[in-house]
Structure 1
Amino acid sequence: MKNILIIDDEVNIGLLLTRFLTKHGFNVETATSGAKAMELLNVNRYDLILCDYRLEDTDGRDMLDKILAIHPQTIVIIITGYSDVKIAVEMVKNGAYDYISKPLYPDEILNTINKALETAQVRKNEQTESIQEESKTSKPTKTQQGVLITKNYVLGDCESAKELYRQISLVAPTNYSVILFGESGTGKESVANMIHQNSPRKDRPFIPLDCGSLSKELAGSELFGHEKGSFTGALAQKIGHFEMANGGTLFLDEVANLSYDIQVSLLRVIQERKVKRIGGNKEIELDVRILVASNENLWEAVQKGRFREDLFHRFNEFSIHIPPLRNRHGDLMQFAEHFLKQTSIELNKHIPGFSPEVIRYFTRYSWPGNIRELKNVVRRAALLTEDGSEIESRSLPLELLELNFSPIASSTEPQFVEPVRTVAFSRNDLKSAAQEAELDTIMKVLREVNFNKTKAAAILNIDRKTLYNKMKAMKLN
């Protein structure tokens, strides 16, 4: 029996829908406010949610974000009035399955629900088949809970990957707070999710929050929530991320970016294991495991006075360093093949693999954006490749193709050859002198960035097309 939650502040509509759907074999619960819905969502799992766009304490857009943050696989259907149709369409683009316009017709509701559940089942079956196929080649590490669940960003067989697996399997079954160190794009959130999925809290919410994108004003509201009218612009009650993660795991990414004042409040919540919404009086008991991540050394931030030492020690019960992709050369093509398999399924294509030339480009590139960059490159290349063909170098982005490598094949880092200057300027006139000065400036910047034209253009404060045109005019090879 499928579980359905109806979120609507009109009690009569909730009752009518409950009776109708119960007759058709569904288990139905109702919530007359966003706050009540969040209470139910924190303790129950639903296959589908019918959510009215206009609620007294919040709106459908905010509810959609909260629902998908806690239960990303749950189907959400928005109930909307005629005047809100444009908003509902936008919400479908942002993750809602569909919308139903008022007035409501029972047959339309039932058909939409059945279609949504059928679609979800098909996707679930496809994912199961993909995981089963993947498990034939993957070599997951075992934990006290059984087999360590593998995620996209932490597959691999090289020594650094094995050490990463070992540390995850060691700390996952505990309730320790963990600091994850790693460069941007190394997959810190995926490692955090993997720790959660192999912990006793795996059936409870995993709530990520990117602290790097939060202003000082927004951070408190996002972390702790607020009551309606607690400050200018607080038009509805907001459930904070601590409350959403209650019973589960809260992942704070780029935690070093939080202001000092917010760090003080954060420390108090962690120590007391209670949270109070901004503008509220009720203290809410918390049972939350905290994982944090940073792309800089948090201890150095402490020494520079940018991060509280007492908060650092609260987080630092265990720490894991996630190596950059350039230090995982043995896993590079395993990642690439994995992303290609995923993308081929998504695009409904058969792409057998990568050409030898592409493999050479991949293995000699330094991947400054790490695994995230590799995934994006593979997805782009797969989109540009015809069904049945392997990926060729023409499908790779300019960042890879524009590098001129030396023939030294034994080096683990890319070896760059400086472009040859074939142009000669006359020093007898002002224009030629200006051109040569411009050339010298361009060459200096290109050398500084290892001839990465995108970075060079940014430093020179021109767009990349302008840089290409200038290099072409100067006959730079």
Structure 2
Amino acid sequence: MKKILIIDDEVNVALLLSKFLTRNGFYVSTAASGNSGIEQLKNEEFDLVLCDYRLEDTDGREMLRKIKNQYPNTGVIIITGYSDIKMAVELIKMGAYDYISKPLYPDEILNTITKAIETRQALIDGANTPLPVSKAGKKQVPLADGVVVGTSRASKELSRQIELVAPTNYSVIILGESGSGKEEVAKSIHLHSHRSNQPFIAMDCGSLTKELAASEFFGHEKGSFTGAFATKIGHFEMANGGTLFLDEVGNLSYEIQAALLRTVQERKVKRIGSTKEIDLDVRIIVATNENLAEAINKGKFREDLYHRFNEFSIVMPPLRDRGSDIMLLAAHFLQAANQELQRNVTHFSPEVIECFMNYRWQGNVRELKNIVRRAALISEGSEITTKSLPLEISNYKMPMFDYSNQQNSYSQTGNYQAPEQRHDIKEQRHDLKNAALEAEYETILRVLREVNFNKTRAAEILNIDRKTLYNKMKAINLK
């Protein structure tokens, strides 16, 4: 359980914060003055301190200086009733993780605290084990057959599900965003099953043309069609006794889906041009980043085939929901890049760790792997610094909104906005009032993206108070 110390001479504020954070799984202690807060830090280790800027016996700047000097691994968030962006910049330069203005909003402070603790842990892990795997005998990253085992709650649940389903013969659907590691999970299921000494055959359905799909799945005999110059064994036959992994299965044509259904039901396969049926003993694992239930409703995917595949489903967590795993994965990829590129890059700078922890990783694990490989290649010394990172990561830039895609409109907090809920600004472009509203709307979005949707910082940059910002966001249905 993570431990938080609240230092605030306003008893009611400290009490409300303490109750709220305790309900959210934190151990919380309070202090009513700067001196009593320092005394508690001497006697007990805390992950994070929430400190009011104006205290009777001192101020937040002095408290921050003392805490960072004496307890450098303890994170600090300053809370104040005064919004001053110059003060915020100064405090952050001194080592504060963030600066939050009163009144406090539960969702904002919980999000800030969670990120602060994850960043603190990553910095500690990065300092203690700069390169978890090496021939010199350093501690090895915990691996499970090529899948890095994470410490986040999402990763632990994923591991539990793999352990449950692997010993069975269930067909499995793995759902998740592109780059989240679906094939690695499929391999892990195979390697923990009784089929582990049999073939694991992976097939990318997204690259198949309608003409080639049948041949790739079922094989063909020599001369069975124009261009069939030799007998070909299909993927089902190659995987016999083992596991067949079908990636991006939602891209298959309806005709091929029908042929797949027959093969899965009958557990027999017949090469194109042959009359001989081959018995099959194949476990099928499929993966997709599409919503198959929606594809069924649109008539693009067969419901009967879906139920054949969906004996067990696993939802891959995106990397942005696996905060405590990010540096573990990064270290693993750095070790692999060193071996591949014959490099000796040993660790990440604290600034890079902070960048990694704050970036949204829309490309998930695949994107992290590519960034680390690139950084290892161009780094000049033993340390990866921000100079080796692409600008979109080193500058913490959020992905741009696509105003043209009304069917997939999401706020950056993850709340879906139906198209009909948004002001139809573009259709009213000739109205001067609405033109001003559009400009204001886009400015608010741009600033929120730039500050990672920290509403306090956004309000300061926009030169308005936070209540006004909330009202404007509510007016445009941005939650």
Which TM-score applies when normalising by structure 1?
0.55
CA offsets 1:133-154 (integer angstroms, 9 cap, x no match):
68x54457xxxxxxxx3424x4
For 2:62, the equivalent position in structure 1 comes to none
- Aligned pair 1:399/2:392, yes or no? yes
Q: Distance in 2 between matches of 1:188 and 1:448?
A: 34
Paired residue for 1:319, among 313, 320, 335?
A: 313
**Superposition deviation, residue 231 in structure 1:** 1.6
For 2:300, the equivalent position in structure 1 comes to 306
Q: Distance in 1 between matches of 2:137 and 2:307?
A: 42
For 1:347, the equivalent position in structure 2 comes to 341
**Superposition deviation, residue 330 in structure 1:** 1.2
Contact 2:180 2:319 in 1 (8 A): yes
Q: Distance in 1 between matches of 2:232 and 2:224?
A: 10
For 2:375, the equivalent position in structure 1 comes to 381
Query: 2:261 is paired with a residue of what secondary structure?
Result: helix
Mark the CA change 1:208 to 1:305 in structure 2 (over 3 Å): closer, same or farther: same
- Aligned pair 1:151/2:146, yes or no? yes
Q: Distance in 1 between matches of 2:447 and 2:180?
A: 25
Number of residue pairs the alignment of both structures matches: 283
**Larger RCO (alpha carbons 8 Å, 6+ apart):** 2
**Superposition deviation, residue 250 in structure 1:** 0.1
For 2:129, the equivalent position in structure 1 comes to none
For 1:390, the equivalent position in structure 2 comes to 383
Task: Give the alignment of 1:430-449 within 5 angstroms.
Answer: 447=446
For 2:435, the equivalent position in structure 1 comes to none
Query: 1:162 is paired with a residue of what secondary structure?
Result: helix
Moved over 4 A (4+): 129-134, 136-140, 402-405, 446-451
**Superposition deviation, residue 447 in structure 1:** 5.0
Q: Distance in 2 between matches of 1:375 and 1:186?
A: 11
Q: Partner letter of residue 197 of structure 1? A: L
Where in structure 1 are there 5+ consecutive unaligned residues?
1-128, 141-148, 406-412, 415-439, 452-477
CA offsets 1:248-274 (integer angstroms, 9 cap, x no match):
000000101111110000000111111
- Aligned pair 1:198/2:192, yes or no? yes
- Aligned pair 1:283/2:277, yes or no? yes
**Superposition deviation, residue 397 in structure 1:** 1.7
For 2:247, the equivalent position in structure 1 comes to 253
CA offsets 1:16-36 (integer angstroms, 9 cap, x no match):
xxxxxxxxxxxxxxxxxxxxx
Q: Distance in 2 between matches of 1:247 and 1:131?
A: 37
Q: Percentage identity across aligned positions?
A: 62
Which TM-score applies when normalising by structure 2?
0.55
Mark the CA change 1:392 to 1:261 in structure 2 (over 3 Å): closer, same or farther: same
Query: 2:178 is paired with a residue of what secondary structure?
Result: coil
Q: Distance in 2 between matches of 1:179 and 1:133?
A: 39
Q: Distance in 2 between matches of 1:324 and 1:199?
A: 25
Q: Partner letter of residue 250 of structure 2? A: A
For 2:201, the equivalent position in structure 1 comes to 207
Mark the CA change 1:340 to 1:404 in structure 2 (over 3 Å): closer, same or farther: same
**Superposition deviation, residue 173 in structure 1:** 0.7
For 1:267, the equivalent position in structure 2 comes to 261
**Superposition deviation, residue 322 in structure 1:** 0.5
Q: Distance in 2 between matches of 1:294 and 1:373?
A: 18
Where in structure 2 are there 5+ consecutive unaligned residues?
1-132, 399-411, 414-438, 451-479
**Superposition deviation, residue 346 in structure 1:** 2.2
CA-based RMSD: 3.2
